[in-house]
Chain A
């Protein structure tokens, strides 16, 4: 068992809700999420696409696009030498949250193609962000940009400043994004599927780079992915999300060696295992059914429509509680709830 964390988490999220009030109805993109991210550690958020991973990331920085907004919950962020701040309480357009964006919490995105302005040079965009958060001369800002570009392994960084994004490859662009994130030495780095759009070799390079920089600067990292192979490689902690809820979270060992939630089990059985000889005719499992449309969100446990263990009359009616199986390993499933199971045993006896 992992010893309990002594210090308060860098970012502690409780009951986070992010909703879109549309004419067609309310979309609950994030629905009561609890997460902890620690300094120097990597928290991986996994889930199918559309499960709300990006919305969690955007909620942290209060950059959910309208009409979406953070409606409930708290996100307490510890800043070195200063009072902790609840990000959920900050005005999305206000100065306090802008001072945190990019400075204390930096984010890199999935689309290295479009995440940089096509009509401004790399240097222009990097230096702008540095000057926004630091009282530096332009000259010093340029040096800092060059240093950051060099640090992420971009050759001839000073020459690159005058390049435009379309002159660089996808991998190079993602390195520029990482350089931008690093330039202000953030305490927390949020990476939203940063390698999804890249080829496998580039992906490995980028993952190595992030791990290396994390070790060097002691950053906390929240890494969003739908690739369990990546999770196994880099995560310390894992949170599995489904339809805007965390259905299971725990240490990487908890999730891979002692998975509890039926959805986690289904995800794990859908990854091919290299070298494991499959029996004749045995196929990879895919999770049956589709992610429900957010407007027809199922009542009760969100996964019950696709869950092989779902019990009618319970799972489709009542929300499961968040059950702490052991220190830090939390699962939200009726079928793992001792109270439910003993009750059921009494009924059948």
Chain B
């Protein structure tokens, strides 16, 4: 088991290095750099910029260095000093912008994950055990609808409902009075109430998918000979279900740990815009458009790192749960 963990960690580090190079390379791909993007912006507003000034800016931001040097400056600062560089557009250290957004995204991912598990585990088991009953069909129907409705539409509908009937604020993660207040119980509760809609919106399609996966896996497992064996030895039906097949069918649950974060980051941008959530998606989009390379790079880097760690975690959990993985 220890060897297994060590091997996985080495793989993870290699992956991260590869990701950092790729990230940096991709950020540099669009023609021009931050200065050209900024100048284009200023030109639109009718201001012209002196080429000498542009060159000075480039030199100040180190944009003239060869790419490997830029890469090394960037990555060594992150690794050795925890310094993510400076956001050219926001004129603030990237770290300031990063941790706040990343933290909230992470919290939302965690809450969504718990939401997905809490809903799909009982329903998945129910639909498998009561296969082809009214309850099963109903769950399938609702699940398909949940998968089919676009998230932004769902978000709008829920916002409307909550505004009209529950009189809660629209969008954001905090009510105005808590926006800049220090952390307190009230602020936490306020955050909780604001998280309900995003969680439902972001978790529904994942829940629907997981219910289907769990149902299919469970039906497979329930038909396996080892279940018959246990039944033939007098094990009760409830224990038969919970001890054996659910244990095996749980694997896809663990795998969600790995994919919830990346889907939230990449798939939830539109939802985050609609719901006005201070998450990573909108900020990353903006940073990419304005070629704010340190901000964009750091975001992608951190999200990738979190995803890789999430995958590692889910792999370790799987290995702990399923001895067949551990030994191969």
Interface residues of A (CB under 8 A from B): 58, 61, 63, 65, 93, 98-103, 106-107, 109, 111, 114-121, 125, 128-129, 132-133, 164, 166-167, 177, 180
User: Knowing A63-B231, A102-B234 touch, does A115 contact B225 (C-beta < 8 A)?
Assistant: yes
Point out the residue from B232, B236, B247, B324 that lies within 8 Å of A107, measured CB to CB.
B232
Is A101 a contact partner of B321 (Cβ separation < 8 A)? no
Q: For the complex, is B224 an interface residue (Cβ under 8 Å from A)?
A: yes
Point out the residue from A61, A101, A103, A114 that lies within 8 Å of B224, measured CB to CB.
A114
**Cα–Cα distance between A98 and B232 once the two chains are bound (Å):** 8
Q: Name the B residues within 8 Å of A128 (CB-CB).
A: 235
11 contacting pairs across A/B (C-beta < 8 A): A101-B233, A102-B233, A107-B232, A114-B224, A115-B225, A115-B226, A119-B321, A120-B243, A120-B244, A164-B324, A166-B323
Q: Name the B residues within 8 Å of A121 (CB-CB).
A: 323
Is B233 a contact partner of A118 (Cβ separation < 8 A)? no
Point out the residue from B225, B228, B247 that lies within 8 Å of A119, measured CB to CB.
B247
Q: Name the B residues within 8 Å of A106 (CB-CB).
A: 232-233
User: Knowing A103-B234, A132-B235, A133-B234 touch, does A115 contact B322 (C-beta < 8 A)?
Assistant: no
Near A by CB (< 8 A), chain B positions 114-133 give none
**Cα–Cα distance between A336 and B237 once the two chains are bound (Å):** 47
- 16 additional contacts, CB 8 Å, given A98-B236, A106-B232? A63-B228, A63-B231, A98-B234, A101-B233, A107-B232, A114-B224, A114-B225, A115-B229, A119-B321, A120-B244, A120-B247, A125-B230, A129-B235, A164-B324, A166-B327, A167-B327
Closest residue of B by beta carbon distance from A99: B234
Q: Name the B residues within 8 Å of A132 (CB-CB).
A: 233-235
Q: Which range holds the interface residue count of chain B? A: 20 to 34
User: Knowing A93-B237, A109-B225, A114-B226 touch, does A119 contact B248 (C-beta < 8 A)?
Assistant: yes
Q: Name the A residues within 8 Å of B223 (CB-CB).
A: 65
Point out the residue from A61, A114, A119 that lies within 8 Å of B324, measured CB to CB.
A119
A-B pairs, top 10 by smallest CB distance, nearest first, are A102-B233, A101-B234, A114-B225, A98-B234, A102-B234, A107-B232, A129-B233, A117-B226, A115-B229, A164-B323
User: Knowing A164-B323, A164-B324 touch, does A116 contact B226 (C-beta < 8 A)?
Assistant: yes
B79 vs chain A, min Cβ distance (A): 39
Closest residue of A by beta carbon distance from B322: A119
B220 vs chain A, min Cβ distance (A): 12
Is A118 a contact partner of B324 (Cβ separation < 8 A)? yes
Q: Name the B residues within 8 Å of A109 (CB-CB).
A: 225, 228-229, 232
A106 vs chain B, min Cβ distance (A): 7
**Cα–Cα distance between A14 and B115 once the two chains are bound (Å):** 54
**Cα–Cα distance between A103 and B235 once the two chains are bound (Å):** 11
Closest residue of A by beta carbon distance from B250: A119
Q: Name the A residues within 8 Å of B243 (CB-CB).
A: 120
Near A by CB (< 8 A), chain B positions 303-328 give 321-324, 327
Q: Name the A residues within 8 Å of B232 (CB-CB).
A: 61, 63, 101-102, 106-107, 109
**Cα–Cα distance between A98 and B247 once the two chains are bound (Å):** 22
